[in-house]
Amino acid sequence: MPSNSQDIRRSILMKWHETLSKYSNQFSSDSISGTSPPSVFVGSYNYPEVFVGPMVPPIHGDTSLLDSPEKWKGKSLEEIVNFRLNLIRGIKKTPIDQTDGRYIENLQEVTMSSKPIDSDLIFQKKTSSNVSLDGESAPFGPMGEIKSAKFSGTTSVKPIERTFYDVDLKAQDAVLNLYNSGIEISKIQKCFSIGMLGQKRKLVPTRWSITATDDIISKSLVDEILDYSLIDSCRVFSYEHLGNVFSVVLFPHRWIYEMIEAWYSNGILGFGSDSEDARGIDHPPAIAGAYFAAKLGVAEYLNKKKIQAGVVILREIRPEYAIPVGVWQVREGIREAMKQNPIISDDFEHALLLASNKMSISKSEWLSRGNIVTLMRQKTLSDFF
């Protein structure tokens, strides 16, 4: 099984090197002219003084697909990795509390834009086109320290512009305002990251802003779900993409939620899980950002249907998912799962069996790695009224 993952990484890297041999002057240069999707990135290395900058491909035109996870349904792992590798990342070391000044304000305008932005970057020295692909970290294209950056053609998204100038709005309320205005989550995350939201603004590493945004939105949705009536039978949803197999089981119960992940490492099966009841989770989840991304996907469904349920999400990460591309694929995978026609069951045990039948891991093994049975046995506040 590991060789399968290694073969996939080797194949993708080989094709990338073929691209570089044809266009090396575009990916290893002291300048770049292209159209940003628009995209910005805030690193976490050296926090609280982080590396911040735009991501720009060496092409002009409509490049929005290169950084729009919501539009990547049906794309292969290789296509998505190539989207990432084609974006050249400009960086500039910046303190996290520096959310003004020409450079950051330009990046905020880029983030606010409703369309791709023509960008011209000059670097301190040639960018390196050397990239590595492993099974641990998301892929990135070439990177260079910015000497100067110019952007043109920005057109602001009005709800983002209004929220940006509302300095009395708390960051949490700003995120919810944008979400309720129909702004894509990937766009909200970028606004959060580049210091555009809240009363005490600061730059937030992209990885952290993604999890914070998913957490804020999913928590708000669950608050509404707690007022809805319980479903009267179990529903099983499934979806598979990018080497990830998802099964979602909804069952008649006041909101409780558990996500269990299984993966292969050197041929050995590993597990991780975390859970919550109606009070939410009071610690960082063992499975990190995937927990909140999946929670958001299923909470959207319950809120739209105006129903309440207990939830178990199973995620089997197969060797074909050889290169991690970000927790967006968990959120979008669950969103797609909830669009499928569910299998209906009157019994939780049977529903869990149906869910695990989609996978190579048995129902008993999933149950032994989770906490859902204990959660179901615990009395909830509603039992006393």
Of 62-76, 120-134, 194-208, the one with minimum mean pLDDT is 120-134
Residue 2 has pLDDT above 60, yes or no: no
Q: What is the mean pLDDT of residues 170-185?
A: 98
The model's confidence at residue 1, banded by pLDDT at 50, 70 and 90, is very low
pLDDT value, residue 379: 58
Of 46-60, 111-125, 126-140, 201-215, the one with minimum mean pLDDT is 126-140
Task: Provide the CATH topology of domain 228-384.
Answer: Ribosomal Protein S5; domain 2 (3.30.230)
pLDDT value, residue 20: 79
Q: pLDDT higher for 26 or 64? A: 64
Share of the chain above pLDDT 90, in %: 84
Q: What is the mean pLDDT of residues 348-357?
A: 96
The whole-angstrom separation of Cα 349 and Cα 355 is 10
pLDDT value, residue 93: 97
Q: pLDDT higher for 171 or 5? A: 171
CA distances from 208 to 24, 189, 264, 327 (A): 33, 9, 26, 11
Of 3-17, 236-250, 276-290, the one with minimum mean pLDDT is 3-17
pLDDT value, residue 181: 97
Residue 135 has pLDDT above 80, yes or no: no
What's the whole-number average pLDDT of the chain? 93
Longest dimension (CA), the chain: 71
Residue 268 tokens, joined: 């050995």
Residue 329 tokens, joined: 């694929």
Q: What residue ranges do the domains of the chain occupy?
A: 2-155, 228-384
Residue 236 tokens, joined: 């099983």
pLDDT value, residue 380: 53
The model's confidence at residue 385, banded by pLDDT at 50, 70 and 90, is very low
The DSSP result for 73-88, as a single string, is: TT--HHHHHHHHHT-E
